[in-house]
């Protein structure tokens, strides 16, 4: 009795030659079937496809990579403090890659190092990457895009401003989202609103700050320099930035923190001083990380569709390769939404 399953564990690996022999055609014809070559007799194609189906044959990616000079790997390059973002981008990209022949290779780099650019280049060149997704703040560096071009590697940059052609960008409109959030504060009656800005060198920090300033100027509210505190996108920096803001007299009745980690720091600092949130101080953050619903009170925040952006980024890369229905190009800009929880209330009466 022969082995029942053709795709047995210890079955010898099938090659394109086996398929060619079984189908009674040449290697190249099988190759054409695999690569969806348009010029093929319908009959031969179906014959080959049947054999492929029956045998469970899958082409060897290593051999293809060698012959094509290009691997079926997508690289994810980042150097980002925001773990939530990395994870969500991974998830989105992975969703897009699922069921395709592509795999995701992750590659953190050190943007402080003098050799970052060389690192990235050699990563791309050595692995013959099919494409790379670049996360902020690395994505804000045009030199990386240039490297990709030079090496003939597709790329998509993620960011909070349009830095490149649509085919190379997925962008979130942080500025508008923050403006909307701050307008919400203003509608509640707040006039002294503090900002905890993100670190220099992050475009997102700049965009969010500008959104903040925009909403204020729209409402005719002036923004004294003292109401702006510098942060580093970390919890600790949020705590100390908040403390400097609370030292003011009169102190702000609301604070917009440029991300949730810092917003959590604001909450923490407020509690240390016995300041009630939201009755005496309103808080809004940015990111909608899980922490916002774990703390008390749950934080009002801005949610951006990171997973969808990751999916779009990967799809932009492989879209042409997988065809079917993906001819409709992926959107490039994604809009965020204000998530209202319990950290915002009207300001206390003076």
Partner DNA sequence: TTGTACGCGTTATCAG
Partner DNA sequence: CTGATAACGCGTACAA
Q: Which stretch binds a second copy (CB under 8 A): 117-125, 157-165, 211-219, 304-312?
A: 117-125
Whose Cβ is closer to a second copy: residue 91's or residue 192's?
A: 91
Window of 41-49, 100-108, 141-149, 151-159 that interacts with DNA by CB under 7 A: 41-49
Angle at 291 between CA 106 and CA 240, to 5 degrees: 100
Is the CB of 125 or the CB of 339 nearer to DNA? 125
In whole angstroms, give the CA distance from residue 267 to residue 235: 10
Whole-angstrom Cα distance, residue 164 to residue 174? 17
Distance CA(102)–CA(133), nearest Å, equals 13
Angle between helices 42-55 and 27-34 (to 10 degrees): 90
| Count of residues of this chain found to bind DNA when the rule CB under 7 A is applied | 29
Provide the strand spans (E) within the chain.
73-78, 103-108, 131-134, 154-159, 169-172, 193-197, 228-230, 254-257, 282-284, 301-303, 333-334, 337-339
Give the separation between CA 84 and CA 118, rounded to whole angstroms. Answer: 27
Contacted entry of DNA, a second copy, none for residue 105, CB cut-off 5 to 8 Å set by kind? a second copy
User: What torsion, rounded to 10 degrees, do the Cα atoms 167, 171, 176, 179 define?
Assistant: -160
Cβ nearer to DNA, comparing 44 with 188: 44
Enter the tokens of residue 81.
């403090």
The minimum distance between CB 260 and a second copy, in angstroms, equals 9
Residue 35 CB, nearest approach to DNA (Å): 5
CA 167 to chain centre: 15
Does 291 engage in binding with a second copy (CB under 8 A)? yes
Say which DSSP state 28 is in.
H
Choosing from 46, 54, 142, 150, the residue that interacts with a second copy (CB under 8 A) is 150
Site string for DNA, 9-38 (x = CB under 7 A): ----x-xxx------xxxxxxxxx-xx---
Q: Which residue has the tokens 């102190």?
A: 251
- Residue 44: C-alpha distances to residues 33, 48, 308 (Å): 9, 6, 40
Strand ranges inside 81-165, DSSP E: 103-108, 131-134, 154-159
Closest to DNA by CB, 24 vs 201, is 24
Residues from 62 through 101 that contact a second copy (CB under 8 A)? 62-63, 65-66, 71, 73, 83, 86-87, 90-91, 94
Q: Is 55 in the site for DNA (CB under 7 A)?
A: no
By the rule CB under 7 A, 68 interacts with DNA: yes
9 near a second copy, judged by CB under 8 A:
yes
**CB closer to DNA out of 63 and 143:** 63
With CB under 8 A as the rule, give the number of residues binding a second copy: 44
Sign of CA dihedral 281, 284, 290, 291: negative
Contact between 67 and DNA per CB under 7 A: yes
Q: Is 170 helix (H, G, I), strand (E, B) or coil?
A: strand
Smallest separation (angstroms) from DNA to the CB of 58: 7
Query: Going residue by residue from 241 to 280, which x/- string records binding to a second copy, judged by CB under 8 A?
Result: -----------------------x--xx--x---------
Which residues sit at the interface with DNA, rule CB under 7 A? 13, 15-17, 24-32, 34-35, 39-41, 43-45, 59-60, 63-64, 66-69
Which residues sit at the interface with a second copy, rule CB under 8 A? 9-10, 13, 58, 60-63, 65-66, 71, 73, 83, 86-87, 90-91, 94, 103-108, 121-122, 125-128, 147, 150-151, 235, 264, 267-268, 271, 290-291, 293-296
């Amino acid at each position: 009795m022969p082995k029942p399953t053709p795709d047995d564990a210890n079955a010898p690996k099938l090659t394109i030659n086996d398929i060619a022999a079984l189908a009674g055609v040449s290697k190249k014809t099988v190759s054409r079937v695999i690569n969806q070559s348009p010029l093929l007799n319908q009959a031969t194609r179906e014959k080959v496809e049947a054999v492929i189906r029956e045998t469970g044959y899958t082409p060897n990616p290593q051999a293809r990579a060698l012959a094509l000079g290009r691997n079926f790997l997508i690289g994810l390059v980042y150097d980002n403090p925001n773990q939530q973002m990395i994870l969500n981008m991974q998830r989105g990209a992975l969703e897009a890659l699922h069921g395709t022949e592509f795999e995701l290779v992750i590659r953190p780099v050190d943007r402080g190092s003098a050799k970052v650019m060389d690192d990235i280049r050699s990563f791309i060149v050595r692995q013959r990457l099919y494409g790379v997704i670049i996360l902020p703040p690395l994505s804000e560096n045009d030199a990386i895009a240039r490297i990709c071009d030079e090496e003939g590697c597709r790329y998509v940059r993620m960011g909070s401003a349009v830095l490149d052609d649509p085919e190379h960008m997925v962008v979130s409109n942080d500025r508008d989202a923050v403006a909307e959030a701050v307008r919400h504060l203003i509608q509640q009656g707040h006039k002294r609103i503090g900002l905890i800005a993100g670190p220099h060198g992050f475009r997102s920090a700049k965009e969010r700050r500008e959104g903040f300033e925009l909403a204020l100027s729209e409402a005719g509210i002036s923004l004294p320099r003292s109401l702006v505190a510098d942060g580093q996108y970390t919890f600790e920096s949020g705590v100390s930035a908040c403390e400097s803001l609370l030292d003011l007299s009169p102190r702000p009745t609301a604070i917009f923190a440029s991300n949730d980690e810092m917003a959590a720091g604001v909450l923490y600092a407020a509690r240390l001083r016995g300041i009630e949130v939201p009755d005496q101080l309103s808080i809004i953050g940015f990111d909608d990380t899980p922490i916002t619903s774990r703390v008390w009170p749950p934080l009002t925040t801005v949610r951006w569709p990171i997973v969808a952006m990751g999916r779009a980024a990967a799809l932009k890369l492989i879209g042409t390769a997988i065809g079917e229905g993906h001819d409709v190009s992926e959107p490039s800009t994604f809009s965020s939404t204000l998530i209202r929880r319990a950290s915002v209330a009207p300001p206390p009466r003076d």
